[in-house]
Each structure stands twice: as C-alpha cells, then as structure tokens.
Structure 1
Amino acid sequence: MNNESQKLTRQQNKKKKKKSIKKKRSAGTIILNVFLGFVLIGCIAFLSGVGLFWYYAKSAPSLDETRLESPNSSKFFALNGEEFQSIGAEKRETITANEIPPLLEDAIVSVEDRRFYKHIGIDPIRIVGSALSNVTTGGMQGGSTLTQQLIKLSFFSTDASDQTIKRKAQEAWLAVQLEKEKSKQEILTYYINKVYMSNGLYGMQTASKAFFGKGLDELTLAQTALIAGLPNAPSYFDPYANPENAKNRRDIVLYTMKENDKITEQEYQEAIATPIDDGLIKLRPGNENWKYFDNYLTEVIAEVKRKTGKDVYTDGLEVYTNIDIQAQKQLYDIVNSDQYVAYPDDEMQVAATLIDVNTGKVTAQIGGRKIPEGTMLGQNLATNVRRDFGSTVKPLMDYAPAFEYLKYSTGKYIVDEPYKYVGTNLSVTNWDNQYWGSMTLRRALVESRNVPAAKLFWDVGADKVNEFINKLGIEYAELQQFNAISSNISTEDGTKYGISSLKLAAAYAAFANGGTYYEPQYVNKIVFQDGSEETDAFNVTGEKAMEETTAYMVTDILKGVITSGTGTNASIRGLYQAGKTGTSNYTDEELSKINSPYSISPDSTFAGYTPNYSLAVWTGYDEKLTPITSEYARVASDVYRELMQYVSASVPNIDWEMPTGLTRVGIELYLEGTKIEQPAVSKPKESSKKASEESKSSESSAEPSTTTSTPPVETVPSETVEIPPVQSTPVENGDGNNEQTPQTPNTTPTAPTPAPTPTP
C-alpha cells in the first residue's frame, strides 16, 4: 500500500473515532439529563409532599389530654330524645405508668411496635418495611406506631374509608408532637387504658377484671397475650364469641414475644398449649337496663356500620334511634314474665317486631325469651330466624297479588276441593282434612283454607308473585307453589329462606298504610364528635308496593280473621285492627320421631296491624322437634294482643277509609267496572276426610277455625253480572268503610285462652 493510501486510511479512522466519541458523549449527556430530570422530579415531589404534609398538619386538631384519657363512648337516644344506653361510658379500671406489668409491656410492644422505644412517633423503617411487605405479599400490613394508634383512637375515626392522606399526615404530625410532650411509658399507659377490648369494655385492666376476675399483674402468660392481642380486632378476636380466632391471635402474640427474646421456647410452647378459655369467667352487663335493649341495640350497631361505616365502639357517636322505651320494656315484660301470657316452659322462644306503619321505624323488638343473664349483643331471632311463618304469607303471596294483577274481588268464588300442586303428585290438604266446596275469597282467607291459596298462587304465577313480594322487602332464591301456604323452603344445598318477624311486620305495614313499603329502620340520625350530623343515610322514603285498593281489600278481609276467623284470640275490644294466624306442620319423618298423641306444630305466628302499628310475633323452640301443643298454639296471638293493646291506648283509634275505585256490595268489595258474581248453585256432597299421604307437612297450616263449618258442597258454574262504575258510599255494617266513633281500647289484660284441638 502506498503512502497516500495509508494517509487516507488514517484520516478515515480518525473521523470514525471522533464520531464514536461524539456518540458516547451524546448518550452520556442524555443519561445524565434523564438522571438529573428524575432527581429534579424527585425533589419537586419531595418538596410538594413536604408542603402538602405541612398544609394538612396545620389543620390537625390540638393535643387534648382529656381525649387521650377518655374512652370513645357512644350514647344512644330514644325516639323521644331520652338517652337510654351508652357504650364505654361506664366506670373503667385504669392503671398508672408504674403499674404496667413487664409481661404485658413486652407482649404489646412485641406484637404492635417492636421499635417503640427507638422511634419519634413515626417509624420510617416500619413504614418502608410494611410497604415492601404489602407489595410482595399483597397483604395490608400497617405501618402505624403505637403512638399513631393512640392518636387515631383519641382524635379520628377508625373507619378504613376515613384513612385519607390528609388524615394520615395529621396522625403522623400529632404523634411526633405527643412524643415531644409525653414519655414512652405515659404513651403506653394511655394506650392500655383507652383501647376497646370487645363486649363493651374499654381498657385492658377493665377487660382483665371482666374476663378473668383479676388484675393485669395477676394474669398468666397465655392470658396476658390474649389481652394484648385483642385491640387489633376486638370483636373478631373475642374469646367468648370467637374462641378459635382468639386463640390464633393469642398465639401470634406469643410468637412475636419469643422472636423478640421476651420469652423462652419452653414458655412459648406451654402457653400455646393452654386452652383459650382457661380462667375465663361469665361476663356481666354494665348495667341492669341492658337486658331490655340488647336485641334492639344489636340491630342499631349493625345499621350504623352498614349505612355509614362508623363503629360505635371506637368513633364516639351519638346515635338517635327509633325505639319507644316504654313499648320496649312492656314487650320485654310480656315475653319474660308470667303476668300477661301463660307459657308452657322457659324454653319456648318468642320473636316480635313492632313497626310504625307510616314511617317504617322499628319502635320495639325482642329476639328471644329467657335469655341468660349477662348476654350482650346475643342472637336476635326477630331478624335471623329461618323458620316457617305458615299461613301469614297467604295475604302476601296469594290474595294481594290476585287483587293487584288479576283484579279479583273479595266476592269471587273459588272451590275448596281435592287438589294437587300443579306439575306434582302432591296433594294440598286443609287443617281439618276436609274440603268445603265453593266459597268466596273472603271466606277462604278468613278460614285460612289451603286449597284456595294454592289455586290463587297458580292463577297469578310464581314470577308475578315474586315481583309483588320483592316490592315488600321479601326475596326468595326459588319460589314455588308450595309457598302459597308456607313461608319457608330449602334449596338443594340446604340453604333456608324464610321470613323473619322484622320482614313480616314491614310487609304487613304496607297493607296498613294503603300500599307503601318502608324499609325497616332503627336509626334516624347520628352525631359525630365534631358536632356534624348524618341524616341522609337514614332518610327512608317509602315506595309504592301495591294499589291502595289492593291494600284495603286485604285489610277488610283480615279484620274478619280477628272478629270471626282463626284469629279471634287477638281481639281487642273497640280497636280497629286486622291480622292473620300462621301455623307450620312437621313432616311425616319428623312426626315419627316425636310420636306425640296431641295436635302439635313447630311454629306458631300471629301478624296484625292497626292504622298506626304493625306487629309480627313468632313462637317456637330452638330445637325444632320440641313441639308446640294445641294448648299453647295461641301464645303468639297472646303476645300480640297484650302489646298492641298497650301501644294503641295512646294513639288515635280511627278505622281505615275505603279508597275510590272500590264498590261494596253487601260485605264484598269489587273494583269498579269488574263483574260481580252471584252465589254459586250447590248441592251437598259427602265430606272428604282422607288426608293425602303424599302431602308434605310444610305445605299446610293447622289453624283451628273458631266458626262453625258449613257442609262441603259440590258447585256448578256461577252467573256473573257486570255493573257500571259507581261512586262508593258508606254502608252501615261492621265491615263498611264508615268512620265510627273512636273507642279507647280495653287496657285490662285478657287471660290467655287455650286453643281447641283441631278436628282430625
């Protein structure tokens, strides 16, 4: 290669090298610029965060020592504004800083805040660790220190929806300020004395005395760990209600103590082997009046949580309820004493709900009878019972839908005759195993005949019936013709669907007020610690569930149930009221297990109403195979009568007015423009006394009639006459819509009357 070629090659290489250097410098510049950009963005974000933190911190409440010391008690007020109960305001057992047992201190710090003695109120290491843990495990581990938890309990709502960036900033700011003013031991003492510990108890010393009958310094290691772990989720880890959960939490506390070198392996093993109920004693309520309101408060607490997310145990609320204190206490006495009603034994249970028909307000409720002393927030059979309410569903599932959708009249004739559920080989039987032939719908309902009810259900159709009852707050996963005479079904997986006393009273209230359904409500307002109020969440607006004519037709018939039908035991002298009995039956298999010579049933119900109140009462036994004999089949109507008599004495006693659109002919009601049936021509027919062996007991009711049965008849088609719409006018008879002179109900207790034994 000559010199010129070499020279050219060297020049080309130099150019390539320069270009390469320029590219590297350019790439480096880009990387540097990107890095600086990120740094700048980070600085801006940091400064913005600091600015935002400071902005939020400035609006934080001031540290108030009284709020650190006092429990976040909630107060409950009755419909008249009277305070009738509180949670957390009762006397607490507190300790001082130098009285904290070292074992308890080790347990709390180990499980809640291992770096408690090292941080300044907030713990950046804990926050970062929690964030990384949540990212890698998908969990929700908290980063709050004990100091922050104390601040939250004292100044803010503990509800998850309130844990905003603003609130977190304020918590952190106040935590740092508190650490400047108080020692670690003082902060720990505030925490021990303040935390909620389940069962309406505040403070660990209070819980120790209530749970074990001794102070914190006398507890064993296992008992101390149980106490230390409760504040994390008091109700979930309640050793009385949820012992398995409580043991799991206690063992976690013990494990953290071992990991923190506070106990030995041997101590750990011995403690986790200790039964969770070791040393637990029976709880006693904080005051004597709690027993009157336990079931009602159970629903109040649940409604507040469901509608607002607030916790009455930790948020310090003033809760304004719809309870009528005097009615509630009267209901309690009726159910738990022998002054008003004769009960067969102490095991019979009663569930009852009283509702204001014009607002949906639950004014009194009881969910159990002879509940063990000391029970707090126990089972409420008025809301969660899944038993059969029998024929009380007939107005809801058969007659009202037929009036509403098919425009049937109360005078329409229907035949009570041998009948099988459509599409099945199962016979429908009546309580007396007889068939009475042709009768009006009015008489069929007053006498609670099962065959007419099943026929009406089929006439309307399950879909339309379901549509109707859904508007009354009643839902079934599956609705069949069996429900024409029964409120309870079981699906293939064994799930029970029933109607509680609460739902039944609310549905019947729509009959009482002319067709409007109100969702039952226990609360009308809550007031927060800062004085603000929440009313919108509890503002229930009624929704039209049926035509006014439908409601009146049902009411007009059900008045006769009390005056001359199966519900005469509920009669109250002078009071305008309507109601329906309900009795369930056993299956053949269940009857074979009981082997009783008497007429028996597992459930007996009465639901009734006036223009002011709706009241539904269920009676039965926790053990379904313990039967109600015919002698005590009327306990439900006894309870109804005694309470309705009491509450109706202080309100106007005015009859329902017949709405426009109806015409009364004799005692029967017709929608204007519809055909009026003439009595059917009939001839006597031999009574059918044989009950179908295929009949399921849950498909029929066993309510004895108090009227004289007419001979069963065989019918021939009836004639109809159509009349033009006319202006309805009052008629002078007991079933008319004329407004009579209000009469004061008889307030003298009526002696219970044993029910007659149904005719085989």
Structure 2
Amino acid sequence: MSRKNRFLLFMGFIIILNILVGCGSMAPLEPPDVPTPSRIVDANNKLITTVSQVNTIPVKLDQISPYMQQAIVAIEDDRFYQHHGIDFRGLARAMYQNLRAGQITQGGSTITQQLAKNLYLGPERTLGRKIKELYYTLQLERTYTKKEILNMYLNHVYFGQGAYGVEAAARTYFDKPAKDLTLAESAMLAGLPRAPSYYAPSTNLKGAKERQAIVLNRMVELGMISAQQARQAKAEPIEAKAKTEHFQQAPYFVAEVIKHFKQKYANGMEMLYSSGLTIQTTLDIDLQRTAERALSQVLNKFNPEINGALVAIDPKNGYIKAMVGGRDWQQSQFNRALARSQPGSAFKPFLYTAAIDAGYTAASTVMCDPVTYPQSGAPPYTPTDHGGGYHYRQFTLKEALAISDNVVAVKLADMVGPGAIIRYAREMGIESPLRSYLSLALGTSEVTPLEMASAYGTLANGGIRTKPLYILKVTDSNGRVLEEYSPKLSRVLDAKVAYIVTDMLKAVTKPGGTAAQISWQVKRPVAGKTGTTEKDTNAWFVGYSPELVAAVYVGYDDKNKKVGVTGGEIAAPIWAQFMQEGLKDVEVRDFAVPDGVVKEEICTNDGLKATPLSSRTMEAYFISGTEPKVPCLGDWWNQLGNPDQPPVESTEPPPAGVGEIGQGVETVP
C-alpha cells in the first residue's frame, strides 16, 4: 500500500469516527456474546468433551485488590481516567507506527476499547471491526462510569488457564480471592492479558517475572507506588500452582489435541475456550472406553503402583483410535503412550523383516548355542536366552521368532547387520534414536508405544506405512474449515515380505509361542510379539489384526522396580481383552495372501520340506521359488535305526549381501 493510500485510509477512518461521535442518538448496546466452548468429537462425531473451562467469578470492584486495579491501568491504559474511551494521543501514536511499518505493530487500544471487543466483537482484525469497536467504546463510556468500566473489564479479561476475570485468575494461579492479592501478585496478573499462554507463571515463571518487573516499573513511573515497594515486590517469592485440566473422557488423547492448538496458534487456548470450534478427531470413543477398561482390569490384578499404556491405530489410514497414557489422569498426566522405554523382544520383527527382505526365508535355520562377540571399548558380548540358557539346536526363523529365542536373534542380527535393522525400523515407523549394537535386535534402544503401533501397522497394511493422525478437521462456529488432514501413505515394504513376517508373528499366539495363553481369548486371525526387558523391568505386547493394531506397555514409573512377569503374562492379556471386545462387531477375516506367495509344510528341526513321515512340522509361507525343495529325512532316517545320526542341515547358501557385522557405537538419529 502506497503512503498516499495509507494517508487517505487514515483520513477516512477519522471522518467515520467523527460521524459516530457526532451522532445525537445511538442504538442501545446489544447483549454481549457469551464465550462458546469448543467441542472435541470422535471420528463418528460422538462428543468426547467440551473444552470450555470458562472459569469466571464476577466480583465488585471493592472485592479486587487496589494494587490489581492500579497495575492493570498502569500497563494497559495509563490515561484511562483522562480520556473518554478513545485515547487519541495513544491512537495517533499507534497509527503512525503502523503506517510507517505498513502493518499493524501497535494496538493503542484503551481499556474501554478492549472491553468493547471482549463483550461484543470477534477476534478478526479488519477496518469494519475497528469501526464497530469504536462505536461500542463510545456507547460504554456514555453509559457507565469509569469505575464500572474498570470493574467490567477486570471481570471479563482473559488471564489464561481458562480463567476469565481477575477473581478466577487469582484462585487459579494463587489459590486466593482477588481482594487478597499482593502488589507482587497483582503486577504478575496484570501482565498476563498481553500473552496469557506465554506469561503464565505456572508454566513460565521466568517470563512472568520479567513481565511483572515491567508492570512494577511502569507503576513507579506513574507515581502509583514507590521504588522501594517495587523492589520488595520483585523480590517477593511467588509460587503459582499448575492447573490440572480435567477431561472426563480420553484425557491423554484430549491433552494431545489441546497441545496441537497451543503449539500452532499464539492464542490457541483462547480459541478453544471461547470460539466454539468443532474438532473432529480420529478417536473411536467406544474403542477408547474398551482400551481403558482392559488396561485397568488387568493391572488391578497386580501391584496398584504398576502403570501402563495402550495405543491403537487403524493400519489402513493411521487414525489413532484409542490412546490410554496411564491408569489415572488425575494422579499423573504423564502420557506413557508417548514415552520411551526399552521394548525388549517386541523389537525383533524389524530384524526379521530385514532378514526376509534380504533373502532369508521362514525356513532358514540358525543354531542356538553359545557365541561371543568382541566389542570396541566394552567387554565381549555373549547373548543368552531368557533365563540365561541355550537350546543347543537349530531353529527355523519362524520358530525362533515364535518362541523369542535371543541367541538366534543376535546371530541373525550379526548376519544382516545392525544398520539394516535400523533402516527397516525407520522405514516402518520408528523415529526414536536407535543405537547400532547387535543387542538392538533384543530391544535395547528406547521407543514409544505409539511408534511401535505405527511400525507394526506397516506389516498389517501389507507393507504400506501410514503416519499416525490425531485430528481430521477443525471448523469454526460458522462451519468454516480451519484445518483438515488426510492420511499419508507410502509403500516401504514389498507386500510379500510383509505377509511372510505377519505369518511368522501369527505363530506367537499359537501353541508353543510366547503368547499362546491368549489364543482362547482372541477368536480371529492376529499376529503379534511379546517383549520383556532384561531384569523384567518392562513388559510389552504389540499385535494386530487386518483391521486394528495395538501396542501395550506395562511398567513402573520408577525404572528401578521390576514388573516381575513377562509380556506374555501381563501385557498380552490386556491386548487380547481389548482386541476381542473392541472388534466383537467386526466381521472376522484373515490377512490377504498376496500374489507370488506360496505355502509349504516344513520340518522345524532343519527347515526342509516335510514328508508324511515327519513328526515336528509347521506351515510357513515363502516368496514363490524360495520354498524348500529338499525333503526332510531326519525322522525317516531315525526310524531306520540311526538315532545317533545328526539331523540334516539346510544346504541353502546365505543370501548375497549379508554377513557384515556392521557393529558400531554411534546413535543413529
């Protein structure tokens, strides 16, 4: 805009203002708008909660500390008692600065103008709204005394944390009525209306103290207090209490939605509290209740101090369908669904996915016996199975994963390399830092339940990764769309590889698997993996059906305490109860077998093709052409009277490009 046009705009503004001032009769004031709370709804538009927190307690001016009255006038409108609603000196100064900058940099609004805006107008910043503001400002000044205007302002201005008015603010931050506010507390509250979220003493005491000093200095300049009083007030220790929001449903999930608004908008909380937004989320409130019930009922059978988390995602689109961050929001707002913990063997599917994609098959065999690996700058690493022993026999990869054999996993990690495990975990959805050690295969790097659910969802979705989503759409009170989000999908695995790993994980919940005890609970095809960390400090189960993936974490907030049971014993039952109840009305279907995948019966002792004489067998899936062709002769040979003959080992050569140790100590971001 040119300087000439800006000048004309300014002159037109002054002419309109003069017309308003000169009107002999003005329409009566309209009833003020009441702040409209925002609604957070689930994916089916069922109400989760309203985010009003419109905490207001009207009081008379003589019930407000004189310090507070002085402080708000000093910092917001020092000529409040001299002007008639519009401070032309301050307005001209602000207009000049704005014209020079070519944009609005100063407000110049008086207390009466702010009250007019709060009572009668919305947040938009247009010339038409400014004219209306001036109109209502003049009406307020003609109708009420200065004390009445100041009283209304102090009862309506927003101080953050849902507190409208000084009485609510005094009780929210200092747990006392407004009449008992000290000079120090008054100066601190008076500094809040400029930026309530930033200057809130409960979350940013340093910023609040800096703003308090500005208010006190201004009060000294205006002769309201002495310099000695200001120094004493600045030195006065202040303890502002942190307010705990109470959400009746899905509190941990709702807190994340609210965090989105805090981070995206400077006035995000004010928008939520008073703008009547409708936030459609990805949550399924019925599934959420099922998740909360499952976590609570199972954990109640154990130590009451033990805690946990459950997060569920629709693998097709990334919608977060349920999120339970702990047993009791009122006791702890710490969201364990987003907190990092070691996942133990629940991390192994990333190793096995890397191996299958590198050319290994479900029938490839690895020996479980003692092995030691040198480590630079650390003692040699000797993995053992859970409990410290060895099986001293070969395992197919499918059986090793089903029973969660640690030695086989570490040997396989040595073959494919820790770097490959990290790459696949990254591509599938793990974003936390991962350490490039062989023990990574056993879950020694910390991850979050949300990441694990998302990464397992890549397998459930046939190799297509979906980013987790919280919010679908945000609309204002007039139905205008402010934000809208859609699924982000990307293929990161071959569908054949994803299916083969899924089939291997299906064996975990079948006889012989580490979660076999839940097979009677879940009456549909599922795949998953238990996880138990060293010394039994954390327990996990992450699993999925074609429709839903869920991660369950169980542990103490005090990491020195042991859960004392395995993931199969405590986390898997929570997962099973949630899945069975949550999907009870969903048609049962199996994972679709992609083209190019074939099924074969194999011997578990050597991974070769089973024969009618084979005793220990299992079904496995293979990329067409990689299935074993050589028959298993071990059982037949033993029946011929050669029991001492060792089993026939696989003659398949290791896949090309594997076998590098790739061992390092750096943390991979």
DSSP 3-state at the match of 1:630: coil
Distance 1:419 1:218, change over 3 A: same
Q: In structure 1, how many angstroms separate the alpha carbons of the residues matched to 2:506 and 2:115? A: 60
Say whether residues 1:503 and 2:451 are aligned partners: yes
Equivalent pair of 1:662/1:671 in contact (CA under 8 Å): yes
Find 1:292's aligned residue among 209, 232, 249.
249
Q: What is the aligned partner in structure 2 of residue 582 from structure 1?
A: 531
Letter in 2 for 1:412: S
Q: What is the aligned partner in structure 1 of residue 40 from structure 2?
A: 76
Find 1:349's aligned residue among 297, 307, 320.
307
Q: What is the aligned partner in structure 2 of residue 695 from structure 1?
A: none
Q: What is the aligned partner in structure 2 of residue 402 from structure 1?
A: 355
Q: In structure 2, how many angstroms separate the alpha carbons of the residues matched to 1:463 and 1:513? A: 24
Say whether residues 1:604 and 2:554 are aligned partners: no
Equivalent pair of 1:304/1:523 in contact (CA under 8 Å): no
Aligned residue pairs: how many? Answer: 599
Distance 1:348 1:248, change over 3 A: farther
Say whether residues 1:47 and 2:13 are aligned partners: no
Deviation at residue 395 of structure 1 after TM alignment: 0.5
Equivalent pair of 2:38/2:50 in contact (CA under 8 Å): yes
Q: What is the aligned partner in structure 2 of residue 390 from structure 1?
A: 344
Find 1:474's aligned residue among 398, 416, 430.
430
Find 1:651's aligned residue among 576, 586, 609.
586
Distance 1:205 1:307, change over 3 A: closer
Deviation at residue 602 of structure 1 after TM alignment: 2.0
What TM-score do you get using the length of structure 2 for normalisation? 0.78
Deviation at residue 458 of structure 1 after TM alignment: 4.0
Q: In structure 2, how many angstroms separate the alpha carbons of the residues matched to 1:568 and 1:65? A: 72
Say whether residues 1:668 and 2:616 are aligned partners: no
Q: What is the aligned partner in structure 1 of residue 233 from structure 2?
A: 271
Distance 1:370 1:143, change over 3 A: same
Distance 1:48 1:108, change over 3 A: closer
Q: What is the aligned partner in structure 1 of residue 612 from structure 2?
A: none
Equivalent pair of 1:445/1:557 in contact (CA under 8 Å): yes
Say whether residues 1:238 and 2:200 are aligned partners: yes
Find 1:120's aligned residue among 86, 91, 98.
86
Letter in 1 for 2:342: D
Q: What is the aligned partner in structure 1 of residue 223 from structure 2?
A: 261
Distance 1:267 1:575, change over 3 A: same
Larger radius of gyration: 1
What per-residue deviation string (whole Å, max 9, x for no partner) do you get for residues 329-381 of structure 1? 33334444xx44445433222122111222211121121223445x7xx3322
Distance 1:178 1:632, change over 3 A: same
Q: In structure 1, how many angstroms separate the alpha carbons of the residues matched to 2:168 and 2:407? A: 61
Alignment of 1:320-469 (within 5 A): 320-336=280-296, 339-372=297-330, 378-383=333-338, 385-396=339-350, 398-404=351-357, 406-421=358-373, 424=376, 425-436=380-391, 437-469=393-425
Equivalent pair of 1:682/1:716 in contact (CA under 8 Å): yes
Equivalent pair of 1:411/1:441 in contact (CA under 8 Å): yes
Say whether residues 1:539 and 2:486 are aligned partners: yes
Distance 1:582 1:443, change over 3 A: same
Equivalent pair of 1:72/1:154 in contact (CA under 8 Å): no
Q: In structure 2, how many angstroms separate the alpha carbons of the residues matched to 1:407 and 1:447? A: 22
Q: What is the aligned partner in structure 2 of residue 21 from structure 1?
A: none
Deviation at residue 265 of structure 1 after TM alignment: 3.1
Distance 1:312 1:235, change over 3 A: closer
Q: In structure 2, how many angstroms separate the alpha carbons of the residues matched to 1:677 and 1:259? A: 93
Distance 1:630 1:531, change over 3 A: closer
Q: Which runs of 5+ in 1 are unaligned?
A: 1-40, 56-62, 490-497, 586-599, 684-712, 722-760
DSSP 3-state at the match of 2:496: helix
Find 1:313's aligned residue among 270, 274, 288.
270
Distance 1:275 1:647, change over 3 A: same
Equivalent pair of 2:532/2:566 in contact (CA under 8 Å): no
Distance 1:174 1:682, change over 3 A: farther
Letter in 2 for 1:256: R
Q: What is the aligned partner in structure 2 of residue 555 from structure 1?
A: 502
Q: Which runs of 5+ in 2 are unaligned?
A: 17-26, 602-618, 636-644, 654-669
Equivalent pair of 1:583/1:603 in contact (CA under 8 Å): yes
Identity of aligned pairs, percent?
29
Q: In structure 1, how many angstroms separate the alpha carbons of the residues matched to 2:549 and 2:330? A: 28
Distance 1:127 1:658, change over 3 A: same
Q: In structure 2, how many angstroms separate the alpha carbons of the residues matched to 1:232 and 1:715? A: 79
Letter in 1 for 2:279: V
- After superposing the two structures, state which structure 1 stretch, 319-328 or 623-632, moved more: 623-632
- After superposing the two structures, state which structure 1 stretch, 664-673 or 636-645, moved more: 636-645
Letter in 2 for 1:579: G
